[in-house]
Structures are given as C-alpha cells and as structure tokens.
Amino acid sequence: MIFVTSVKGISHQGDEYTKPEHIDMGADVLYQTVLKLDENGF
C-alpha cells in the first residue's frame, strides 16, 4: 500500500481530498518500485 496525505486527514469519506501533487508523488513511488523490482529480476 502506498499512502498519500489527504487534506485534514479525512479519508474514506465523500469530502476526502488529496492534492494532485501528492497523488503524483504516490504514483512516482509506485513507478520507481516497479522499476526497481524489474531491475532485480522480480
């Protein structure tokens, strides 16, 4: 699981909001992890 910051810590509710730059950072973590696993022959 990759966790990203939500405004006011609200999650799993209709008023949950995560800033686009935080979503980008989470996506980059996933991307870099996949690259590393591929590099190591996963």
Q: Over its length of 42 residues, how does the chain's per-residue pLDDT go in tens digits?
A: 999 999 999 999 999 999 999 999 999 999 999 999 999 887
CB-based contact 10:17 (threshold 8 Å):
yes
pTM for this model (two decimals): 0.78
How many domains, in total, are found in the chain? Answer: 1
* Two structure tokens written together for 15: 């008023």
Gap between the Cα atoms of 26 and 19, Å rounded: 11
Q: Is residue 22 part of a domain?
A: yes
Q: Domain span at residue 11?
A: 7-40
33 part of a folded domain: yes
**Residue 8 pLDDT:** 95
The position carrying tokens 């980008």 is 24
pLDDT of residue 25: 98
**Residue 16 forms part of a structural domain:** yes
1 inside domain: no
| Tokens standing for residue 8 | 């006011």
pLDDT at residue 24, rounded to an integer: 98
At 34 the pLDDT is: 96
Q: What is the pLDDT of residue 42?
A: 73
